[in-house]
Amino acid sequence: MKKSLVINSDISRVIAQMGHFDKLSIGDAGMPVPATTEKIDLAVTNGVPSFMAVLNNILEELAVQRIFLAEEIKTENPQILKEIQQRLGDTPITFIPHSEMKQELNNCHAFIRTGEMTPYANILLESGVVF
């Protein structure tokens, strides 16, 4: 059995296949996902698993050099924004319109759907390198 903290086989596979500048997205239960983007659906019920629980798990294995958030998170979900900023520390953040974020899902290796039921709880993680 896999020993690290990411034990979901689909998530582990996607992370292992990522290279520098590749993107992975995590989001709330309502985010529309393009048919051409792999969707890893973890949602069980309202709030389970939470966006932050999944993000924290992914960050145990994925080297992240930049994140992208919807501009709207600043006013519509400041609590999640604060939690993201606390968790990711000095990682650069680029804010983009939510409509652009939805389009960027076409350029992601996968979208991980959580049970999060708060607005704009979506993130694009840009992969860094470990050397």
pLDDT digit string, tens, across residues 68-88: 999 999 999 999 999 999 999
Whole-angstrom distance, CA of residue 62 vs CA of residue 124: 12
Which residues span the domain enclosing 27?
9-127
The count of domains in the chain is 1
Residue 20 falls in the annotated catalytic set: yes
Q: Is residue 102 part of a domain?
A: yes
CATH code where residue 60 lies = 3.40.1650.10
Which tokens hold the place of 32?
A: 């529309």
70 labelled binding-site residue: no
Residue pLDDT, tens place only, 16-72: 999 999 999 999 999 999 999 999 999 999 999 999 999 999 999 999 999 999 999
Report residue 3's pLDDT band, with 50, 70 and 90 as the boundaries: confident
Two tokens at 76? Answer: 């519509």
| Residue 1 forms part of a structural domain | no
Looking at 5, 7, 20, 97, which residue is catalytic?
20
Q: Would you say residue 3 lies in a domain?
A: no
2 belongs to a structural domain? no
Question: Within a domain: residue 15?
Answer: yes
What is the amino acid identity at position 118?
T
Residue 62 lies in a domain: yes
What pLDDT does 36 receive? 97
109 is in an annotated binding site: no
Q: Which band of pLDDT confidence, cut at 50, 70 and 90, is reported for residue 4?
A: confident
Question: End-to-end CA distance of the chain, in Å?
Answer: 27
Residues 78, 80, 86, 90: is their CA dihedral positive or negative? negative
Residue 63 known to bind ligand? no
